[in-house]
Amino acid sequence: MAESGVAPAGGELDEEFAVPSHVDDVTEQIAAFAAGHGAGGRRVVLITSGGTKVPLESRTVRFLDNFSSGRRGASSAEYFLDAGYAVVFLHRHRSLYPYARMYSGINLLDTLQIKRDCDQVVVNQQVLPNIAKVLQRYQQVKEDGLLLSIEFSTLSEYLHLLKAAAQALSKLGSQAMFYLAAAVSDFYIPASEMPEHKIQSSNGPLQITMEMVPKILSPLVKDWAPRAFVISFKLETDASILLDRARNALDTYSHQAVVANVLDTRRGYVVVVTPETQAELILTDEDVRKEVEIEELIVSNLTAAHSQFMNKHQS
Amino acid sequence: MAESGVAPAGGELDEEFAVPSHVDDVTEQIAAFAAGHGAGGRRVVLITSGGTKVPLESRTVRFLDNFSSGRRGASSAEYFLDAGYAVVFLHRHRSLYPYARMYSGINLLDTLQIKRDCDQVVVNQQVLPNIAKVLQRYQQVKEDGLLLSIEFSTLSEYLHLLKAAAQALSKLGSQAMFYLAAAVSDFYIPASEMPEHKIQSSNGPLQITMEMVPKILSPLVKDWAPRAFVISFKLETDASILLDRARNALDTYSHQAVVANVLDTRRGYVVVVTPETQAELILTDEDVRKEVEIEELIVSNLTAAHSQFMNKHQS
C-alpha cells in the first residue's frame, strides 16, 4: 500500500472505480465471520495480498500490474493462524495461498501416480515433501472455519472489497488487525479517459497518462475502522529513502505501524516502524539454514504489539 | 503476435532487449529435440503461449502485461500431440499448461485426502474429474518425449527465445510449423529510457511513453526459418477491423496464415485467413454441449493445410 500526502479517498470511490457486483455478498460473509469469531474472543486479521491489475482499455487486453507473488501475505496468514487469529485473506486471484503456496509452481500432473491395484490416484510424496502434515493443518484450519478467502483482480475490486471488509470488521474494535501487504498500484486511468478498444500499435509510440490512486489508508483509519490496529507496508527499491517514507506515512495517516522493506532484501530483512519505535527484524544464517521465514518474525512482533494496543484501548 | 507495417527486427534485437543467460542452452535443447523427431519423420510445431511482461522500471516493481491465460496455446498443444506432432511449448511462466490446464484454479490441497490405512495421500476423483485418464495421456506424452517446455516472462526473453527456437527448427524446413498464439506486447520502454528505481507516486500523475516493439514476424519468415509453415494470431476487440488487419499482416509478412479472432467470441469463433482462402470455424450449440473446443477445429484446419504445404515444398 502506498502512502503520501494526497487528498483522501472516501465518497468519491464509487464515482471513479466501478463497484464489483458481489460487494454486498462479501460484506455479509465478512460480517458473519467477524461476529462468530469476535463473540468467542478471537482476534481477527484482514490480510491483503498480491498485486492489483489496472486496465488500460475498457475491453481489457492490456493492463498495468505490480510485481507480487503474494508470498508475504500467504505465509503471514499461516503464522497468524498459528498465533490463534482468524484470518480474512483478501488476495489477488491466483496469487499464492496459505499452505498451498509451498507447492506452487509444481505441475499437478507431475506429482501423481496411478495405483492400478487399488484403483486410486496417489501423490508421490517425494515430489510434495511434508504433504501429509501440511494437508492435515490445512484441513484443520478449514474445519475450524478460521480462514475466509476473498479474491480480487483489478484495483477497483481491491478498493471496494477493502472498504467493505473494513466496515464489517470495525465492529470488532481493537480486536481487529489490518495487515495491508498487497502491492497496490499508485496509478490508474479513470474510466472516463479510457479507450474502449484495443490500442492500435500502428498509431505509433504509446503515450499513457495515469492519475494517482486515492490513498485508501486515510478513510480506513479515520472513518471505516477507527479503533482497529492497522499495519501498512512500504516497499522501495532504494534503501536510502525507505525509513523517511515509512515515518512520513505514519505522520500522515496516524495508524499503528509500517513494515518497511527493500525489494532485493525483503525476504531476510524488514524494519517495523511505529510512532515510538523502530525494530529491525533480520534472519540470521542459522535461521536461513533452518528455513525460518521472515514472516514468522514479523507476525510475532505485531501480535505482541497488538496485545499491548488492545490492553490500552479496552479500558 | 501483432503485425503492422513497421521496420523489421533483426540484428538490433540484442541492443534493445537484454539477452537471457540461458538462451544457448535452450537453443541446444530445441535443436536436439528437432533433430530427434525430424529424423523420424515427425512434424514439429513451436507453439507460443501466454502474455509478455514489459517492465516499466529496471529494478522491476511495475510492469505492463497483456491479458492471456494461455488457454488457446495449451489446449492447441494437446490437439497437435493427438495429430502426431512433437511440440515445443514456449510459454509464459505460470500460464496454462497442456493437460494440467484442465485443473487450473483448483487448490491442490482441496483435491487430496489422507488414507491412514495405507499411509497414502490420494486424489479425490470427484474434485478432479477424469484425472486418471488425463494423467495417463500426460505420462505417455512425457515418456515419448513429445513435449518440450520452455518458459519466458518478459518481452525480452520471449523475443530472444523465439529467435533461438526459430533458428534451431529451421533445419526441419517445411516440416516445422510456427503457431504464434502468445499475446505479445506491441509496446515497450527501451532499457536506456527506463528509470532504475520505483517510480514515486508523490511526484504526481504518471506519464509513460512506450516505443513500438519491432515486428519479429518479419525476420522469422525472411531469415530465421524461411521454409517453415508460419501461423500468426490476431486478436481485436473491434470485429469491424479484424479481417482487414489479418489480410494486411499476410501482405506485409508473406507467411502462410492468420488466425483472426475477437476478444468476446474467441472461444467459439475464429477465421483462418490465408492468401487464397478464408475459413470461418464456428462451434455449434451441439459442439458446446459436447465440450468440443474451438482449438480442435483450428488445429485440424492447420494440420491439413500444413500437409498441403509440405507436399508442395518437398519436391
β-pairing, A176-180 vs A112-115, is: unpaired
The per-residue pLDDT for B1 is 40
**A301 domain residue, yes or no:** yes
Tell me the shortest Cα–Cα distance from A293 to chain B, in angstroms.
21
Tell me the shortest Cα–Cα distance from A37 to chain B, in angstroms.
23
> Contact at 8 Å (CB) between A5 and B202?
yes
| Chain B residues within an 8 Å CB radius of A123 | 112, 120-123
Q: What is the CATH number of the domain that holds A252?
A: 3.40.50.10300
Q: A149 touching B, CB under 8 A?
A: no
Q: Do A107 and B122 touch (CB under 8 A)?
A: no
How far apart CA A87 and CA A148 sit, in angstroms, is 6
Tell me how many domains chain B contains. 1
> Contact at 8 Å (CB) between B70 and B49?
yes
Q: What is the CA radius of gyration of chain A?
A: 21
The per-residue pLDDT for B60 is 66
**B117 domain residue, yes or no:** no
Q: B265 touching A, CB under 8 A?
A: no
Q: Do A206 and B208 touch (CB under 8 A)?
A: yes
Closest CA to A260 of A287, A229, A291, A281: A281
Provide the number of CB pairs (under 8 Å) joining chain A to chain B.
187
* Contact residues, A window 161-200, toward B, CB-based 8 Å cutoff: 183, 185-187, 196-200
> Which range of residues forms the domain containing residue A240?
10-102+144-314
| Chain A residues within an 8 Å CB radius of B125 | 121
Closest CA to A174 of A210, A124, A225, A218: A225
Q: Do A62 and B185 touch (CB under 8 A)?
A: yes
How far apart CA B94 and CA B50 sit, in angstroms, is 9
Closest CA to A207 of A226, A189, A191, A192: A189
Spans of chain A below 70 pLDDT: 1-11, 59-60, 197-202, 315
CB-closest option in B61, B115, B186 to A66: B61
**B107 domain residue, yes or no:** no
Q: Do B121 and A107 touch (CB under 8 A)?
A: no
Closest CA to B182 of B137, B127, B220, B139: B220
Is residue B143 over pLDDT 50?
yes
Quickly count: other Cβ atoms within 10 Å of residue B224's Cβ: 21
| Chain B residues within an 8 Å CB radius of A201 | 2, 4, 6, 186-187, 212-213
Reported ipTM: 0.86
Angle between helices B71-82 and B294-314 (to 10 degrees): 60
CB-closest option in B63, B136, B199 to A67: B63
Confidence of residue B6 (pLDDT cuts 50, 70, 90): very low
**A92 domain residue, yes or no:** yes
The per-residue pLDDT for A11 is 58
Q: A269 touching B, CB under 8 A?
A: no
DSSP A8: B
The per-residue pLDDT for A119 is 78
**A176 domain residue, yes or no:** yes
Q: What is the dihedral of CA B162, B168, B172, B173, to 10 degrees?
A: 60
Q: What is the dihedral of CA A52, A56, A59, A60, to 10 degrees?
A: -50
| Chain A residues within an 8 Å CB radius of B112 | 123, 131, 135
**A154 domain residue, yes or no:** yes
Q: B209 touching A, CB under 8 A?
A: yes
Average pLDDT over residues B210-238: 93
How far apart CA A180 and CA A1 sit, in angstroms, is 7
Reported as half-sphere exposure (CB side, CA atoms, 13 A), residue A297 has a value of 20
Average pLDDT over residues B177-185: 96
Q: A244 touching B, CB under 8 A?
A: no
Q: Do A112 and B103 touch (CB under 8 A)?
A: no
Q: What are A41's three cell numbers?
A: 474472543
The whole-angstrom distance between residue A203's C-alpha and the CA centroid of its chain comes to 38
The per-residue pLDDT for A102 is 94
**B3 domain residue, yes or no:** no
The per-residue pLDDT for A8 is 41
Is residue B59 over pLDDT 90?
no
**B154 domain residue, yes or no:** yes
**Angle at B220 (CA atoms; ends B217, B223), nearest 5 degrees:** 135
When the pLDDT of each residue in chain B is averaged and rounded to a whole number, the result is: 90
**Angle at B84 (CA atoms; ends B82, B90), nearest 5 degrees:** 80
Higher pLDDT, B311 or B6: B311
